[in-house]
């Protein structure tokens, strides 16, 4: 089972998470039952455990986090110079902190989602054309 790369909690999940956190902090409890967690958080935890089991490093960031150009490039699976080109073309919003560019994580995730969707649509168009031309 693969969980989404990110999960935006519903208001009900936020309330459930707040209540669970309050119970954990107030009682000093170090254990929590899976059913105490919001469904989206449980799915993310499952994904995290899967990655750790494979020996992969895991980092949890809030979607409003800001990334360096290298971190954003790594997340997109592109080179840093290519990412900088995307920033300069306006494909991704960014701002500068001194001389360094910063990109919001949620902007990178939105860009990646749109890029992947565009790729799937292009592939489907090619497959449709192949079928139309009788190449399949």
Report the distance separating Cα 22 and Cα 38, nearest Å.
Answer: 14
Q: How confident is the model at residue 22 (pLDDT cuts 50, 70, 90)?
A: confident
Residues of the chain with CATH 1.10.1660: 66-132
Indicate the SS3 state at residue 106.
helix
* pLDDT confidence band for 80 (50 / 70 / 90): very high
Note the pLDDT of residue 111.
95
Pick the CATH number of 66-132 from 1.10.1660, 1.25.40, 1.10.10, 3.40.50: 1.10.1660
Could you give the percent of the chain with pLDDT greater than 90?
46
pLDDT, tens digit, 9 for 90 and up, residues 97-115: 999 999 999 999 999 999 9
The structure's pTM equals: 0.62
103 — phi, psi (to 5°)?
Answer: -125, 135
For the chain, percent of residues with pLDDT exceeding 70: 90
């Amino acid at each position: 089972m693969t969980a989404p790369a990110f999960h935006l909690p519903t208001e009900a999940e936020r309330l459930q998470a707040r209540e669970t956190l309050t119970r954990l902090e107030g009682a000093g409890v170090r254990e929590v039952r899976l059913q105490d967690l919001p469904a989206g958080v449980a799915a993310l935890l499952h994904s995290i455990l899967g990655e750790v089991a494979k020996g992969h490093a895991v980092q949890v960031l809030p979607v409003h986090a800001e990334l360096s150009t290298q971190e954003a490039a790594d997340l997109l699976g592109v080179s840093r110079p290519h990412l900088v080109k995307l920033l300069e073309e306006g494909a991704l919003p960014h701002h500068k902190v001194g001389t360094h560019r910063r990109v919001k994580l949620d902007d990178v995730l939105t860009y990646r989602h749109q890029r992947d969707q565009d790729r799937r649509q292009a592939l489907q168009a090619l497959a449709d054309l192949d079928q139309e031309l009788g190449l399949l």
